[in-house]
Chains A and B, each alone.
Chain A
C-alpha cells in the first residue's frame, strides 16, 4: 500500500512538472521595496506588493514573483529590478554615498514609485532634491496617460486612505523627457493594496481602485 502511494506521488509530480516549468518562465516581474535610513518604517504594509504581484499575474498574465522583497541602495542586486517601491511614515534619509548609486540607477532606466503612507512628504521632497538638485517634481494633470492605461481614472489619482483631508495628488520627476520618480501623495495606494481587513475603512471598492491604479503605475513604468 505504501509502495502504491509512492508511485502515485511520483506520477502526480511528473504530470505537474510541465505546469511548474511554465510557471517559472523567464522575465518574471517583481517590484521590491527600497530600504532607506532615517528611522522611517520602509517595511510598512508587508502584504501590499505581494497582492499587487498576484493581481498583475492574474489580470495581465505576466509572470510575477509574489514575495515581499526588500533591497537597499548599496546592494548590487538593486540593478536587477527596473522598478522600486518606497513607502513609510515619517523620516526618510538616503545616505550620502548612496545618492550617486540611486541617481545612476534612475538615469539608466530605473523607476521609483514613492507612496506616501503618511508624513514623508517633506523628507521625500528633500531627498528628491538631493538626487536632482536642478529639478522639481511636477503635479500630473487628471488626463495624464498614467490615469488612462490598463484602467481609466477620469478624475486622476484616486483617494484611497484619508490623512489630512487634502486632495490626492501625483507628482512626477521628469529628467531628459522620462518620468523617473512618481510620488503619490495623500492617496496611500499602498494601504489599499494590503490584505482585506487590515484597514477596516478600505471597502472592496476602494481596494479595487488602489489595485487598478497600482497596475497602471507598473504598466506605465514598463512603457517609458
Chain B
C-alpha cells in the first residue's frame, strides 16, 4: 500500500506501518457515481454523432481517451482522498508523583525527628530522578498531589521546594490526572511517593481497573513501635438553647496501642469540666457527651486525649468546637383553615419545650374562629385577629388556610420572612394552593415550588432521607446515621402527596419520599430562603398519624416531637437583632480551607439594603487583624466574603456597614479554626493497599530504602500509537500528468488522422 501511495506521490508520514487504506470522496461515493452517470453517456453520444468519417479502431481509441479523461476529471471534482491508518512511534514518558498531604509530615523516628517527607527529600537528594533518567533514557515528569495534582518544574524538584501541607490524599485523582495529562501511550510507569493515608475520593482499586500503566510506590516506613491515638467529633452543634442540652458524639481511634480504653478530657474555655472513659472495641471507642446549656454566651469546648509514647502525630489528639447558647424565645403561631389533628400534634410537639409558646387559630365556620393558647382553647370569636400575635411570632405555620383570610396580613408576613424575623412552615392538605387562592399572591413568591400545576397523589408513602449524612441537625433524630435513615423508612405512612410543576431555584429537598411522580421520586419536605428568612414546605400528609402512632414503636413519641421542634428552631432563624449581622457557614473552620461569610445589612425599618459599604475584618487570638474584601451578592442586603484561616484558635469577625455615609452598625461572629485532622484519622502507612494497587497494575511497592528496586524494574516501552491521516489525491503529481497528457494525446491522434 505504501508503494501505491509513493507512486502517486503521496506521503503518509509519520505513519510507518500502514494498517488500512480507504478511498474517500468529499461528495461521497454516490455523488461521484451520479456524476459519472451523467457525464459518460453524454461523451459517448457526442462521439457517436460527431459526423466525421473515422476508422472504427481509431474512433474507439479516441473515445477511450476522452472517457478516461472525463473519469479522472469527475474524480478530481468529487474531492478524492486516501484515509490511511497505521502505527506511529511514540516517545517514552515516566511520571513521578510526590504526596504533599499533611500525613507526610508525620515523624517516623522519634530521636532524629525525621518526617516521612524528609525521607522523600533525601531520596531526591540521592539522585532518584537522575537514576530513573539513566535507566530509561527519559527525564521524569514530576507532579505533586494532595487534594489537587500539579506539575512541577525541574528547578522546584532540584531544590525540593515542596511542603507537606495538603488536606487530603486523593490517590485516585492523582492517577487519573497524571495518566490523562501525559497519555498512557509510551508511559513507562507512574512512580508515586506516598504513605497512602488518609485516602479520600474514589476507591483507587476501582479507578485503576482501566489503567494500562504500571504503578510503582515508594513508601516511607514508620518506626517499629509507632503508635497513634486520634479523637474526632461527629457534626458538633453550633447553637444551644438556654436551659436545654446538646448532645456531642465523638470517636477515639487507636493504632498500635494495647490499652483497653482512654480518658477523654472535656474542657470549656480551657478549663477542665469533666472526664469521660472511652473503652476501645477493635481499636475504636465511641462516646456521647451531654452538655447542659445553663449559661448564655459563646463557649469553646475541647475534647482531648493524652499523647502516647512514640505517637506518630499529636495534631489529632484534640477536637473542639464553638457553642453559642442563646435564650429561648420560640413563639410559634399556627393558622389552620379547619380543625385538624395535625394542629394538635404540632402544638403538643412545640409544648414539649418549656420555653416555647404556641398560638393556634382555627377556622370553624366563616365567622367563627377559635384561638388556642399553648394548647388551651379559648372561647370562640367572630373574627381572626393576628395583630399582636404576628409581631411576636418566630415561626408561622399555614395549613389548609384560605388566602382570603390571610390577605390583610400578607404584607407583614412577607416582610417578616424577608427580614429573617420569622420563618414559615407550610403544610400540605388535600386542598391545593390554587384551591386556597394563593395563585399570583405575594405568599406564592415565598414557596419553594412552582404551583402552576399541582397534582394530588392519593398514595401512601414514607418520607426518606435523601442522603444519610444530612447537614441539617434537626433531621438527625437518632444518633446513628444508619438507624436514623431506617427511622424515616419505618415511619407510619403518610396518606397523600402533592406534585408541583417544579422546584424553584435555590430550594433544596430536605426529605424525599417513596412516592414516584411523573418523572422521579417526589420530595416530601423542601426548604428555601427568602431574603434572610427560611421557608419549609411539606408536600404530603397528614403528619399526625406519623407522630401519634409512634407511641407504640420502639422509639416513642419524643423523637418525632423533637424533629418538629428543632425544625421550628431552624425556621426561627435566630440572628441577633442587629442591623448588621454575620452568617458563617460553620463556626468551625480549618486552616487553609475557605469559609463563606455572609453579612446581612438592613436599615432601621428592618428593610434589607443594597449598595451599602461593608467593611469586614478578622482578628486572631494573637490580636493580628486583617481585612476581608466583601462583595455584594444578588440577594438583597447580602454581602459575601471568603475567609481562609491561617492560624489555630478563635477568630473574631467584625462587620461594619455604612449606607450613604451614615453608619448603620456593627455585627460580630466567631469562628474556631483547627488543623484539618482528616489526614491523621488513620495515620499509619497504608502499605497493604499500595502493594495491592501496584500488583493489580503490574508494578511494585517498596519501602523508601529499597527504591532502587523500582529503578531496576523500569523498562523502556517502545510505544506506538494508531494514527489516521487523510491524503488528498488532488495533490498527486501522477493525476495532474494524466489530466494534461490525455487531451494532448487525443489532440495528437486527431491531428495525425486529420480529424482536428
Contact = CB atoms under 8 A, between A and B. Distances in A.
Contacts of B377: 145-146, 149, 220, 223-224
Interface centre among A21, A25, A27, A148 (most CB of B within 10 A): A27
Interface centre among A21, A24, A25 (most CB of B within 10 A): A25
A82 B341 contact: yes
Interface in A74-110: 76, 79-80, 82, 104-105, 108-109
Contact of A27 (B370, B374, B430, B552): B430
Interface in A106-150: 108-109, 143, 145-146, 148-150
B542 A219 contact: no
Interface string B327-364: 00000000000111111110110000000000010101
A63 interface: yes
B548 A61 contact: no
A62 interface: yes
B545 A25 contact: no
A218 B368 CA distance: 16
A152 interface: yes
B100 to A, nearest CB: 58
Contact of B541 (A27, A29, A105, A222): A27
Interface in B537-557: 541-542, 544-545, 548-549, 551-552, 557
A79 B547 CA distance: 10
Interface centre among A21, A25, A108, A148 (most CB of B within 10 A): A108
B494 A148 contact: no
B623 interface: no
Contacts of A177: 374-376
B380 A224 contact: no
A96 to B, nearest CB: 19
A5 interface: no
A146 B368 CA distance: 14
Nearest to A76: B552
A199 interface: no
Contacts of B552: 76, 79
B340 A108 contact: no
Nearest to B339: A222
Contacts, number: 114
A79 B549 contact: yes
A200 interface: no
A12 interface: no
A82 B548 contact: yes
A178 interface: yes
Interface in B371-385: 372, 374-380
A76 B549 CA distance: 9
A145 B378 contact: yes
Given A222-B339, A222-B344, A224-B372, A148 B548 contact: no
Interface string A194-224: 0000000000000000000000001111111
B685 to A, nearest CB: 55
Contacts of A61: 338
B344 A82 contact: yes
Nearest to A63: B430
A164 B544 CA distance: 41
B458 interface: yes
B338 A60 contact: yes
Interface in B693-745: none
Interface in A25-79: 25-27, 29, 59-63, 76, 79
Given A25-B430, A27-B342, A222-B344, A79 B380 contact: no
A150 B551 contact: no
Nearest to A178: B375
B545 A80 contact: yes
A197 to B, nearest CB: 29
Contacts of B347: 223-224
A150 B364 contact: yes
B17 interface: no
Contacts of A3: none
B495 interface: yes
B496 interface: yes
Contacts of A108: 548, 551, 557
B496 A26 contact: yes
B1 to A, nearest CB: 71
B551 to A, nearest CB: 4
A150 B380 contact: yes
Contacts of B548: 79-80, 82, 108-109
Which DSSP category, helix, strand, loop or mixed, fits chain A's interface?
Answer: mixed
Nearest to B495: A26
B49 interface: no
B365 interface: yes
A219 B364 contact: yes
Contact of B557 (A80, A109, A146): A109
B339 A62 contact: yes
B200 interface: no
Contact of A223 (B362, B496, B545, B551): B362
B429 interface: yes
Contacts of A29: 341
B542 A27 contact: yes
A163 B339 CA distance: 33
A62 B338 contact: yes
Interface string B520-552: 000000000000000000000110110011011
B364 A149 contact: yes
Contacts of A218: 339
B360 A80 contact: no
Contact of A149 (B343, B344, B370, B542): B370
A22 interface: yes
Interface in B458-480: 458
B755 to A, nearest CB: 88
B340 A222 contact: yes
Contacts of A105: 551
Contacts of B496: 25-26
Given A27-B342, A60-B364, A82 B544 contact: yes
A60 B362 CA distance: 11
Nearest to A222: B339
Nearest to B376: A224
A22 B343 CA distance: 21
A79 B557 CA distance: 11
Interface string A4-25: 0000000000000000011011
A223 B375 contact: yes
A145 B375 CA distance: 12
A18 B751 CA distance: 96
A221 B345 CA distance: 11
A192 to B, nearest CB: 21
Interface in B476-497: 494-496
A26 B541 contact: yes
Contacts of A148: 379-380
Contacts of A224: 344, 347, 372, 375-377
B577 to A, nearest CB: 31
Given A79-B548, A223-B372, A109 B379 contact: no
Contacts of B378: 145
Nearest to B541: A26
Given A27-B341, A223-B360, 20 more contacts: A26-B430, A26-B495, A27-B429, A27-B430, A27-B542, A59-B365, A105-B551, A109-B344, A109-B345, A146-B377, A149-B370, A152-B380, A218-B339, A219-B339, A223-B343, A223-B344, A223-B347, A223-B375, A224-B375, A224-B377
13 contacts: A21-B458, A26-B430, A26-B494, A27-B429, A27-B542, A109-B557, A149-B377, A150-B365, A178-B348, A222-B339, A222-B340, A222-B344, A224-B372
Interface of B: 338-345, 347-348, 360, 362, 364-365, 368, 370, 372, 374-380, 429-430, 456, 458, 494-496, 541-542, 544-545, 548-549, 551-552, 557
Interface of A: 21-22, 24-27, 29, 59-63, 76, 79-80, 82, 104-105, 108-109, 143, 145-146, 148-150, 152, 177-178, 218-224
Q: Which 4 A-B pairs have the closest CB atoms?
A: A25-B430, A26-B495, A148-B379, A27-B542
